[in-house]
Amino acid sequence: MKIKEISGAYSENCAFSIIYGDDFDSLDLIASTPEEANIWVTGINFLIGANKSSDALESRQKMREKWLQEVFDQADAERKGMLDEWETIAVMKKINSQLCIRQLKQKIMEFDIGKDEEERGRINKKLFVTLFKEIATRPDVYFILVRYCGKDYMSVEDLQLFMEGEQGVCGVTLEDCEQLISKYERSEEARKNKQLLIDGFTQLLLSEECDIKSPLHKEICQDMTQPLSHYFIATSHNTYLLEDQLKGPSSVEGYVKVLQKGCRCVKIDCWDGVSGPVVYHGNTLTSKIPIEDVLRTVNDHAFAVSEFPLIIHLENHCSLDNQKQIASLMKQIFQTSLYIPEKDKACPLNCLQDLRRKILIKGKKLANYNADEGEVSDEDDSAESRASKETLKRVPLCRELSDLVSLIRTHYFDLSVVDLRKENEVSYFNEAFASKLALACAEEFVHHNKSMLTQVAPDVSRVDSSNVNPFDFWNCGCQLVAMNYQTPGQMMDYYRGWFQQNGFCGYVLKPAFLRERFCLFNARRKDSLPGIDPLCIRVKIISGQHLPRPRGASSKASAIDPYVTVQLAGVPADCAEVRTRTISNEGNSPIFDECFEFSVTVPELALLRFVVLDDDYINDDFIGQCTIPIECLQSGYRHVKLYTSDGECLPNVTLFVHVSMTHRYGIKQKLRRKRSWSSKQGTDLRSVGLKQVDEAFKSGSNLINESTQIRKDIERTMVDLCDECSLHESANVAQCLRVFVLRLASCFSVTSFEIVKPEPQSFPTIKICGELTGKLSKSFAVLEKALAEFYFASRNANTTLEMLDESHDALVKFGDELTNLCSLSGIKGRKADKITENFMWNLSVLKTEMDMLRSTKEDCECALLQVERLSVALKRLFECERESITKSSSKEPLKNVDVLISGASLLTEPEPKQPPPLTPTSPNDARLRGILKKSPVTCTDSALISTSVTNNEEKAETTLNTQEDVNIDNDNSTPLENS
């Protein structure tokens, strides 16, 4: 059957392979469903582990049961031998807070069937143990444990390899793993044995150590010493409003809520009131609040969450007397926190760090510094959006209030005046005008926002307080995109998610291409960043935990029909949305087991949003969501905490996913093309049109080609290594080493394995005693080559980077003189603009190549350090596997056959929209439904099985020796054509 015919009927997750013999020949198999493939693969691995140590499984089960019995005895203080329903639930929740009370009650009711009236609702010790096992054991997690380790527990060495390899956590030591076991393993006996059983492993995966959000970004992790214009700033629109823009209430609670959510720019609309200035949405039916109440509330909560500067957007519509009163109240209430330009010259606006715990006033300012009062343009949003520069209405402004303004609100109608602006000016655009700029002159708009603050406000037509898509303006570098915080929804989820990437401080450093002067970026072009390799993100939705009914779903049945959508937001070319199938009548632990791929060209401006919905005929109801910037995303097996539409965390409600990210995706296919992909040079530089500048770029072009060759050599080396280890091209060195060691342990002619730490100016080497088979010799050569390539690439990259830096600095000097050079050559108009564009393109290519080479260098250094860190664990792994294989091979086998179970990427076509026909072993078969719906996600290693067959009185004796783990997902597999 042809590959295309197979792929049309089956998902690639249905495929797995048995690799057998010394040369690892392949037997490729396809199951009817991914769940069925999981059963086969996991079951075989479990049999392997049981065969190696026949009494180990029983021993560990006893450890778990002993712990549960001890827990029961402690709860049964009166020694009645029974616990009632609420006592049982309380104890269960104490030892595992993730358990669902409703599910516990339901299971206790099932146990009551057939009992006498007196015994109902009472649980003895045996039932207590059974109840916990049935409720707390998650099959999806259990499958991963068995498939990865070939047994139902993790040793310290297994855990280190899991954290470094599968989870992508760098710097994990054996001591760290011992601490994790001590922290999460519940059985005292298992802790003494330094083993992590299923309950401890489940708790580890649910802990902060395995959260999908990087812990680095939960604290302030970005450079906070740059100018305000270099940051995205969390901004609120009409902060005082709690509902719509026309007749809803105004309240100081609006300020409390946004400030507690990390907002750093709030708006105050000041109008004349009966007894002084008030705050409300002018010329509407919204209620009014005294400005003194607003100022005191702001002062009380300004730095409760973030100590970085708070900007008050002051929209002034008051008389001169009330303006003076406002100025006096600000000085009195804010005191030393108020930034006054004349007094705070020691704290310039070009360093965010120096402005900590300062309140900056943004508004209009008098141009004449000597006048006591004057006129400025009307600050009404709708007025500025409708009028031209010449027809804006003029309103009075007093000196006292003007002197407090440190950020001057302006309205630029022409971006060509870029060189005339000041660092303390803020361009103010409404949504419609800013959208026109983003479409008509995107590159000029980006350049404008590199050195000047820009605020974008929602159109006045959004009377329902709906929100803009912030990416429409973030992609152009706009810093202050104002949002209606009171309106939940997709756009507000994007906003809250985006500002969590720097410790929730309300400031996020813009990417370098939105800050650096000579860097070209246009989010709407296909090649928005020249020379960038897209990031491939594979997300597998494995399961959900304790999904609640949607709000207001009281009229529905108690069960829900959940499905998951995954949205990618960013530049237009990156935006995508996918969804899983619906799981009927299952909210407690639905199994989705579906994988999706995203190609991200600009990960610095992208985020993922996971949304869980209840499928309904009329309208799909929202259950929960989580939005994560790509910069915060962690790879491996992760739990995604879900949040309400208001951003409140739903307790114990999670999605279990597997994430892998790589820039190497598709390289294997490129390498197979007739034209050698590796011979293709980097991104072409453009001819600028000025002879001296083009000559300077020639040396830079040669350096770019050298850099590109270094990167491609490393990429090809990693692809070869992954291919040799039967892993997906996104695999890392730790995963490849584990596969190699497990294979090595099954070769009886090899007596020892060791990684020798490097001497100065060298790299780690592998010491093997014994004779290798032909296949292992090839694998060993590929691995040695990879280590050497990592070492020499990191050294050569240093030299190339230094030369690229020098070339870049020299070319930047030409940029400062570009206008004069064009004038001297008699070039002007469109030709001069084209020269500038090509010059910035070339500098962008040069800078991008430097960044990518620097990243490659860091990856190489990290890989070498990882080899050193894992040397002890890999040696112990070899010794343990060899000991197990030796024991299981003591049955005098007549014939040895090495078999590898691995999830093969047998199919190259997309997954079918409709599932294949049901079979007697499909998930809908009542006999298997309970276990099939608990199928796991990607596993990244394979399992080597050594089979011994003895013909003795018509009996066959089979010995299975694990060398690698099982992998049925495309993440870690070998295509059929290469098997």
Q: Which residues are catalytic?
A: 237, 281
The answer to whether 659 touches 634, Cβ cutoff 8 Å, is yes
Say which amino acid occupies 854: R
Q: Under a CB-based contact definition with an 8 Å cutoff, are residues 72 and 173 in contact?
A: no
Pair 873, 940: CB distance under 8 Å: no
HEC string for 706-771: HHHHHHHHHHHHHHHHHHHCCCCCCCCHHHHHHHHHHHHHCCCCEEEEEEECCCCCCCCEEEEEEC
**Short-list 391, 394, 390, CA closest to 367:** 394
Give the CA count within 13 Å in the CB-facing half-sphere of 459: 10
Do 640 and 654 contact (CB within 8 A), yes or no?
yes
Burial label, 173 (beta-carbon count in 10 A; 0-12, 13-18, 19+)? middle
How far apart CA 743 and CA 881 sit, in angstroms, is 10
Selection from 631, 854, 635 nearest residue 735 by Cα: 635
Residue 300: Cβ-neighbour burial (10 angstroms; 0-12, 13-18, 19+): middle
- The helix (run of H) or strand (run of E) holding residue 434 is helix 431-440
Cβ distance 167 to 154 under 8 Å? no
| CA 490, chain centre distance (Å) | 18
- Alpha-carbon distance 692 to 674, whole Å? 38
| Letter string b/e over residues 100-109, b meaning 16 or more CB atoms within 10 A of that residue's CB | beeebeebbe
- DSSP character at residue 922: S
Q: Answer yes or no: are the C-beta atoms of 362 and 311 closer than 8 Å.
A: yes
Assess contact for 18 and 942: CB atoms under 8 A.
Answer: no
Which residues does 125 contact at the CB level (< 8 Å), separation at least 6?
A: 69, 72, 73, 76, 81
Which two tokens mark 626? 């989580």
Instruction: For CA atoms 702, 703, 708, 709, give the dihedral sign.
Output: positive
Residue with tokens 């910035």: 840
Helix and strand numbers, DSSP H then E, in the chain:
28, 30
Q: Write out the two tokens for 608.
A: 């993922």
| Distance (Å, whole) CA 308 – CA 292 | 23
Contact 769, 752 (CB under 8 A): yes
* Distance in angstroms (rounded) separating the CA atoms of residues 591 and 937: 10
The Cβ-side half-sphere exposure at 73, using a 13 Å CA radius, reads 6
Would you state the structure tokens that stand for residue 509, as one six-digit string? Answer: 């450093």
166: number of CA atoms within 13 Å, CB side? 26
Q: Which of 566, 602, 575 is nearest to 469 (CA)?
A: 575
Q: Which residue in this structure is represented by tokens 């929960």?
A: 624
Beta-strand runs (E) in 914-965: 943-948
Query: Rounded to 5 degrees, what angle do the CA atoms 143, 149, 151 make?
Result: 75
The helix/strand/coil state of 407 is: strand
